[in-house]
Amino acid sequence: MALKPKVALSNDFLLQLSKLPAKMHSKIMKWATQFQADPTSTGINYENIHSARDANLKSVRLDDDWRGIIFKPPTGDVYVLLYVDHHDGAYRWAKNRKLAINPVTGAMQLVNLEQVTEPATQATPLAATVPEPTSLATASTLTAPLFAEFSDHQLMSLGVPAELLKMVRCVMSDAQLDALQAQLPVEAYEGLFLLAAGDDIEGILKARETDANAQIDLEDFATALNTPESQSRFKVVSDDETLLSILNAPLAQWRVFLHPTQKKLAEGDRSGPVRVLGGAGTGKTVLAMHRAKWLAEHRTPAGQKVLLTTFTRNLSSDIEQNLKTLCEPEVLKRLEVTNLDAWVHAYMRKQKLEHRIVYDRKQEGAAQAWQSAMAVRDTSLDLPNDFYEQEFEQIVLAQGITTLEEYRIARRIGRGVVLSRSKRDAVWPVFDEYRGQLASRKLKDVNDAYREVAHMLTNGRQASTSYSGIIVDESQDFGPQALKLIRAMIAPDPNDLFFVGDGHQRIYNRNKAAMSQCGIDIRGRSKKLYINYRTTDEIRRQAVALLEGVEIDDLDNGQDESQRYRSLSHGPVPSVLHVDGLEKAFIEILQFLQQGHHSEEAHPGLTYCVIASSEKTRDALAKQLQAAGVRTINITAQSNHTDERNVVYMSTMHRAKGLEFDCVAVVAPQSYLSEKSKESNQRQLMYVALTRAKRGAVLVLT
545-561 tens-digit pLDDT: 999 989 899 999 899 98
Question: Higher confidence at residue 94 or residue 259?
Answer: 94
**How far from chain centre, in Å, is Cα 471?**
14
Taking only the tens place, the pLDDT of each residue in 558-576 is 999 888 899 989 999 999 9
Question: Higher confidence at residue 702 or residue 601?
Answer: 702
Three-state DSSP state, 529: strand
Three-state DSSP state, 197: coil
Three-state DSSP state, 109: strand
Q: How far apart are alpha carbons 479 and 422 in whole angstroms?
A: 29
Taking only the tens place, the pLDDT of each residue in 119-155 is 444 433 333 333 444 343 344 444 689 999 999 999 9
Lowest mean pLDDT among 114-123, 260-269, 507-516, 550-559: 114-123
- Kindly state the average pLDDT of the residues 225-248: 87
CB 661 within 8 Å of CB 642 = yes
Q: What predicted TM-score, i.e. pTM, was given to this entire model?
A: 0.89
AA letter at 298: H
Q: How far apart are alpha carbons 41 and 76 in whole angstroms?
A: 16
Mean pLDDT of the chain: 90
Q: How far apart are alpha carbons 613 and 633 in whole angstroms?
A: 17
pLDDT band at 236 (very low <50, low <70, confident <90, very high): very high
Residue 602 in this model has a pLDDT that exceeds 80: no
